[in-house]
Structure 1
Amino acid sequence: MRLKLVSLLIVLSGLSACSTTEKPRNSAENQSSQSSIALSQLTDAQSMYQAALNRQGADKIQLLYTARDAAISEERWPLLEKICLELEATPSVDQIQNKLYIALAQEHQGKSDLALAQLQQLEPQLSQPEHQAWHQYLTARVYASQGMPKQAMPFFFKASTLSSENNFTVANLNKDLWQSLTQLSSYALERFNRGSVVQQGWVNLALYHQVYLGAPVELHQAMNNWLRRYPGHPAAEVLPKKVTELVQIEPLNVNRLAVLIPQSGANERLGDALKAGVLAALDGQSLEQTLFIDESLSAAEISLKLSEFNADFVIGPLLKSNIEKLTSAQTLVDYPVMHLNTFDGERISQQHFFFALSPEHEVQQALERFLTAGYQKPMLLAPNNSNGQRLVEYFNTQWQRYSEVKPQIGFYTGKEDMPKTITGLLEVDQSKERINVVKSLFKQEVESETRSRSDVDVIYILGDATETRLIKPYLDVNVSTFAERIPLYASSKSHSKQIDRTDKGDLDGLYFTELPWMLDGQISQHNLRQQYESLWPENADISQRLFAMAFDAASMLGDVKQLSMVQGKRFSGISGQLSIASNGYVTRSLDWAQYKDKQIIAVDLATEQPIPLFMQSAIGINAAE
């Protein structure tokens, strides 16, 4: 990536003209020859930079410029930053351009906070369209790097419009703009379908991308219409390659499906739930054959079965140990695979995807809800075990990206210490101590009531269904009657269809995330739920959730290619709104529900992408403008 350089020849010739010492011709020629030989030996940015440190004047500037260009070409971002800082000490350098280079280097190194601060300082000094375009482009990259494509788009569009109207190129702008644009939903795209012709051209191209994905004939026709409507549009640079890619994203044609699940041993019950989910999803589909294989078999045995079966696609395995086993043996490397769990190792194929009922998805969704609702100081209650500690650590790490306030954390080891944990966190125990002190000062009876702390504004429970039913009453009786009711949230672990059949009491007001499959009336396949209840009325909650996951894994086979290549595309499943990230992992957005009047009702809670802490002032400035 290169910013357009000011003419070095003019600068250098001007500096040379200022020289008053005339040297003998032969001596000058000899020195020039020696200098040329020395310069020819400088083959990379580092060597050029080191040589420049030993030079002075115009020679030093020229070498630093050359080193700067080389550092960008070599993508050596720490070195680029050092070179630019060295150039900052030179008055004749285009300082605005050089500072843009520094921001570029910082953004590539993940120093997004420093890059944004640099760009904010530069904003009042921008006068040249090229500087403005690069400023907008680099700002957009900062937002995009934080997973905020919607916020990045106005800056991308401005940069594209400026470069198009002034007939210059911003390196990598079109590629990066398109990458962020394709992460938006069709609803978000429609909201951007305004502004300059350049902006509308980009948006309409992305809409065609989503609408006609997997329909080659319609896609070609739409692209031809787009080219006629937007001649000379900057997106034409990425269009030919992109059209070829899009045409190739036809729905996956699966005729022979292999499913690896536990069919023996301690996890056979989980395998039965998965098998039922796959078969339910395939009911009515036109697959030639489905083969269920016990994932506990050796890698060699599984390889032989897959080869003899000639599978088009593989779902599974479920257990991490078996994913690791088959990955190490390269058993599945030549097959498209939807694993039914996460994997700590390296993804060995772009055709491999990972679908798990990860609780981190729910923690992230709750965190985003809290920030959207304006909660400032959450309190977390979690079991003192590895899972509870992992989820609390995940919440803490993510929360610190958006807030300087530390969450209050309470771990409990069992029913016995729950009251102590809760009263301690809410500082009710301190209130009781103060009451006892006051009572000791008076002989007559003193009327009193304990007060809980008032700064906690939301409580998040990460316990299971039994633990939540114990925690909720403790919270109800320990929150001061003088204080406003603190909103209570929980994960899907707090909800149990089995327990709810006989006991929904004491949970009134609690919000929780849950799979649509586990909530009455939240899926379009009403007959499916009725059939399931008639066949397995007593199935455990884990079996029901695995059924939903397997059902979606089999149902989305035809959409896997599109989902993996278009990050803005969503699949409406019975386990949630599903999408596939660039690393191949299926991400889920669950439904919200609430206990109310001894019933469970679906609720629509606004949730938006949170703004990282270091960007909040910049967002405020832009909103004010």
Structure 2
Amino acid sequence: MRLKLLGLMALFSLLSACSTTEKTPVVEQVKTQPKVEVDLNAQSLYQKALTKRDFDKIQLLYTARDKAIEEQDWQLVITICELLIESDGPDTVRNQLYIALAYTQQQDYHAALRTLESLNAKLTSPMHFYLHQEIYGNIYAAQALPHKAAPYYIRASETANKHQFNANKLNKSLWQVLNQLSIKQLEALNEGSSIQRGWVSLALYTQLYIGDATSLQAAINKWDYAYSNHPASFALPDDMQKIINVEPIRVNKIAVILPSNQSKQKALAQSLKAGVLAASENHPDRELHFIDSALTPEQISEQLTLLNPDFVIGPLLKANIDKLQQAGTLDAYPSMFLNTTPQALQSIDHFAFALNPEHEVTQAVYHFVNQEFKKPLVIAPGNHLGQRLANHFTNQWLEFSENEPQIGFYANKRDVQKMVRELLEVDKSKQRIREISLMFKGQLHDQPRSRRDIDAIYIIADATQTRLLKPSFDVNISPFAKRIPIFASSRSHDIKSDKTDKKDLAGLYFSEIPWMLPLTGTQQTLRSDFDEIWPERSTLEQQLFAMGFDAVQLIPHLRQLQMVPGKTLAGLTGNLTVNQDGDVERQLKWAQYREKQIVTLDIKTEKPTPLFIKNHQQETQEATL
């Protein structure tokens, strides 16, 4: 239920920002309709207009149009606006803008962009420009691109402020996207007009001081003095008060629901437990209580009733999460499930934290698109996980490119060399060499050629398989061809294997959680302590230790992170954020094998612009040449 409610609220705020239910100036409304007509719904007004002629018809159509926008009957809005345009009604540009608005609300973004771009040279009034920029912002916001939406919304806000338009819904949409930006993105926008600086500085204060009510209130008072009568002031009495009042979840007593030491998941549970304990080490007054996840929901409920914990962590397995969700066992407790949940989260204080491999595959796609790679090659095992992640890569990639990636699956270690040669078409090159050699006598100087269209390689494989794949690509890519960068997921990285062999992986880029990379400061001390106590832990067990540690570290920040989506928490498993659905999302780090060491890279992965928007932008540029 919470997912549906929050989803509908977000969708409404993002996509209905241009509704004219606000009393913005409407130049074509000549006179007020009689009350009997105004009380009719949009469809009835439209049908009545069709019975009229000339001026009376046009006037009723405008009333029906505004009523249809109010009722969010977007198909009727399009029908009426098209009829008004055909009838040469006043302000054709505004009717076309309302058509673009309706397309946006129907999620037909292609049609909305075509309409907006056809109007670029026809915006003859401030209201035209205001609506034009706002609808553009809505489209980018709907694509989860707040950094692209913000400049459009800001320009619309500047126009509304200058010409005193009522822009309540625009203000809410702009405030929402600014709260999704990181501090670095906000700082890059903190320039320009006083309207722009006022919006951005208020969003910066929110991120910098959330959780510190005294400092935040002082910053708001300073802002209010510097930006009196600013359009962002709407947020001060309500939204900002909510942020000021948000209280961290108390963590004096934590219940952790994990498999017992007698279960098959004993090693996994112990690793998670060790992470939870390590994160609580500096809190001697904190109580930790561990509950066996194999117990029935009724038994777990009894234990929770006796404990009355401030927060519950777990369970780990989806089956155990499902049974507790169905029984409503955790409904009364703030909780964090340690996996993706089979059902939607029902409580505003329920969260889900999973080491989801799709997160890093998506991150790889974003990086490839931002690097302007055109034809990536994806290598994965032919098992269920390999196919799932390769399919996820393809689906994500096709949002940004019209070229399908090349996918290669291997069955086993023996299959690797053959598969690499076939994918790079080296075998075809060798066959051509043999055919030519039969045509000529004497010694031929030959060198097999690999295909030239592949410009990036992404390996989804474990450490052993990666140590076979990387050298196979190295020897089969033509020495005179441009070197193809090779990337891998975190599955390719294994600390134990690195101790004895790194040379075959030289040059390989890979994504990884910070805990598995060279660390500094307090994290380095924690790493040293871990290696001393548990020197033989597997990669998965180390990842789960980091997950348990981050789960505890997240608790006081969960509400704040969800309220301000652009805010992040640096964790052992990545930079952590919380989306509106309560899911913890991770951004991993990039690293590279260089000679005999691993170097962490400062690569920021930002969601690229979808293909359909880029195509529209290119078409517009070509049309202006």
Give SS of 2:558's match: helix
Check whether the contact 1:517–1:523 (CA below 8 A) recurs between aligned residues.
Answer: no
- The corresponding residue for 2:216 is 219
- How many residues matched? 600
Shift of 1:520: 2.5
- The corresponding residue for 1:18 is none
**1:24-64 C-alpha deviation (Å, 9 max, x unpaired):** xxxxxxxx9xxx97x58x74333444444555444443443
Check whether the contact 2:337–2:353 (CA below 8 A) recurs between aligned residues.
Answer: yes
Shift of 1:523: 6.3
Q: Would you say 1:466 and 2:469 are equivalent positions?
A: no
- The corresponding residue for 1:178 is 175
User: Alignment partner for residue 123 of structure 2, among 106, 110, 126?
Assistant: 126
**1:365-390 C-alpha deviation (Å, 9 max, x unpaired):** 11121122221111111111221111
Shift of 1:566: 0.4
CA distance in 1, matches of 2:43, 2:465: 60
Shift of 1:209: 1.2
TM-score (norm 1): 0.91
Shift of 1:171: 4.7
Check whether the contact 1:523–1:574 (CA below 8 A) recurs between aligned residues.
Answer: no
CA distance in 1, matches of 2:419, 2:46: 59
- The corresponding residue for 2:26 is 5
Q: Would you say 1:101 and 2:122 are equivalent positions?
A: no
**1:367-425 C-alpha deviation (Å, 9 max, x unpaired):** 12112222111111111122111111211111112112221111111123222322221
**1:179-199 C-alpha deviation (Å, 9 max, x unpaired):** 001111222222212111111
Which aligned pairs between 1:203-602 and structure 2 lie closer than 5 A?
A: 203-263=200-260, 264-521=262-519, 524-602=522-600
Check whether the contact 1:563–1:579 (CA below 8 A) recurs between aligned residues.
Answer: yes
Give SS of 1:512's match: strand
CA distance in 1, matches of 2:445, 2:217: 80
Question: Considering only aligned residues, what root-mean-square deviation do their CA atoms show, in Å?
Answer: 2.2
Moved more, 506-515 or 85-94: 85-94
Unaligned runs of at least 5 residues, structure 1: 13-31
Check whether the contact 1:254–1:287 (CA below 8 A) recurs between aligned residues.
Answer: no
CA distance in 2, matches of 1:64, 1:466: 70
Shift of 1:551: 0.3
Identical counterparts, % of pairs: 45
Check whether the contact 1:49–1:64 (CA below 8 A) recurs between aligned residues.
Answer: yes
Check whether the contact 2:30–2:59 (CA below 8 A) recurs between aligned residues.
Answer: no
- The corresponding residue for 2:142 is 145
Moved more, 290-299 or 440-449: 440-449
CA distance in 2, matches of 1:377, 1:359: 22
Moved more, 61-70 or 276-285: 61-70
Q: Which amino acid aligns with 1:226?
A: W
CA distance in 2, matches of 1:542, 1:73: 54
Moved more, 207-216 or 527-536: 207-216
Unaligned runs of at least 5 residues, structure 2: 1-18
- The corresponding residue for 1:74 is 71
- The corresponding residue for 2:12 is none
Check whether the contact 1:516–1:522 (CA below 8 A) recurs between aligned residues.
Answer: no
Shift of 1:508: 1.1
CA distance in 1, matches of 2:234, 2:540: 50
Change in 2 beyond 3 A, CA 1:72/1:10: closer
Change in 2 beyond 3 A, CA 1:53/1:444: farther
Give SS of 2:120's match: helix
CA distance in 1, matches of 2:417, 2:43: 62
Shift of 1:619: 5.8
Shift of 1:474: 1.4
CA distance in 1, matches of 2:140, 2:342: 28
Change in 2 beyond 3 A, CA 1:457/1:523: farther
Give SS of 1:260's match: strand
Change in 2 beyond 3 A, CA 1:54/1:503: farther
Check whether the contact 1:215–1:250 (CA below 8 A) recurs between aligned residues.
Answer: no
Which has the larger Rg? 1
Check whether the contact 1:594–1:601 (CA below 8 A) recurs between aligned residues.
Answer: yes
Shift of 1:166: 0.7
User: Alignment partner for residue 198 of structure 2, among 196, 201, 204?
Assistant: 201
CA distance in 1, matches of 2:316, 2:54: 66
CA distance in 2, matches of 1:225, 1:415: 64
**1:114-171 C-alpha deviation (Å, 9 max, x unpaired):** 2122111111101211111111111111111112211222111111111111111135
Check whether the contact 1:201–1:233 (CA below 8 A) recurs between aligned residues.
Answer: yes
Moved more, 606-615 or 320-329: 606-615
Give SS of 1:123's match: coil
Check whether the contact 1:133–1:170 (CA below 8 A) recurs between aligned residues.
Answer: no
**1:412-449 C-alpha deviation (Å, 9 max, x unpaired):** 11123222322221111211121121112123332221
Check whether the contact 2:28–2:90 (CA below 8 A) recurs between aligned residues.
Answer: no
Change in 2 beyond 3 A, CA 1:67/1:321: farther
Change in 2 beyond 3 A, CA 1:389/1:548: same
CA distance in 2, matches of 1:124, 1:277: 60
Q: Which amino acid aligns with 2:212?
A: A
Shift of 1:353: 1.1
Give SS of 2:188's match: helix
- The corresponding residue for 1:190 is 187
Q: Would you say 1:86 and 2:107 are equivalent positions?
A: no
Change in 2 beyond 3 A, CA 1:52/1:335: farther
Check whether the contact 2:25–2:165 (CA below 8 A) recurs between aligned residues.
Answer: no
Give SS of 1:592's match: strand
Change in 2 beyond 3 A, CA 1:597/1:209: same
CA distance in 2, matches of 1:327, 1:299: 9
Greater RCO (Cα-Cα under 8 Å, separation 6 or more): 2
Moved more, 512-521 or 214-223: 214-223
TM-score (norm 2): 0.91
Q: Which amino acid aligns with 2:406?
A: Q
